[in-house]
Every structure is written in C-alpha cells, then in structure tokens.
Amino acid sequence: MVNPFQVLVAANKAVHLQLIGKMKTRSLNSEIIFNLSPTNNISEAFKRFGTSDGDESVMLVVVHCKNESQLLEDIAAQVDGRQVPVEDVSWLSDLAKIRK
C-alpha cells in the first residue's frame, strides 16, 4: 500500500459490489484485497497485499455500521502491537514488491 486513500477506495468499492451482488471474490475481506491490486488476478492480489508468516506490520480494515464503535475497540484489544496513525503507514510498504 502506498497511500491510505487506496485502501479506502478499495473498501468502498468492495462494499458497493457486495450490495449489488457483483463481487469477483467470495468474501468482503478478499474483495478489498483484490481491489487493491492493479491486475485482475486474485492470487496475485493476495501475494502483493495479503499477509505472510514473516510480516511484522499489518493494516486492519474494518467495515462496520456507524453504531458499532465498540467493535473497533474489541478488535484493537486483540492485536498484540502498536497502533500508528493511518497517515504514517506508507513507510510500511515494500514498494519493490508492489511495483512488480
């Protein structure tokens, strides 16, 4: 991921496609990852934007209704790590891997 806005666009597109029944993948989560990729290849999207055993940093994307703020707190409590502002996540990207 180069910019958090890309994740927002991918998530919005995934939710829209789910609502109209036009997703290309089987779940909303995989659709978000698929929408991050510039290719039309689902497995390639997971290679570039999915998680691996050796990952030390991840970005969590939570799709929820406005009145489910407790959900965010519950998810954050399960993560063993440090939260950083979304503006600071671009330094976590492996640009060489993304550009392949």
Q: Is 21 left (phi over 0), alpha (psi -120 to 50) or beta?
A: left
Residue 97 lies in a domain: no
Residue 100 lies in a domain: no
Range of the domain at 11: 4-90
Q: What pLDDT does residue 26 have?
A: 96
Residue 98 lies in a domain: no
pLDDT (tens digit, 9 = 90+) per residue, 7-63?
Answer: 999 999 999 999 999 999 999 999 999 999 999 999 999 998 888 888 888 888 888
Residue 99 lies in a domain: no
pLDDT (tens digit, 9 = 90+) per residue, 47-67?
Answer: 988 888 888 888 888 888 777
Residue 46 lies in a domain: yes
Determine the 3-state secondary structure of 87 from DSSP: helix
Task: Tell me the CATH number at 75.
Answer: 3.30.2380.10
Counting the structural domains of the chain, the total is 1
Residue 69 lies in a domain: yes
Q: What is the pTM of this model?
A: 0.80
Q: With pLDDT > 70 as the criterion, what percentage of the chain qualifies?
A: 89
Tell me: pLDDT of 84 over 70. Answer: yes
Residues 6+ apart with CB under 8 A from 65: none
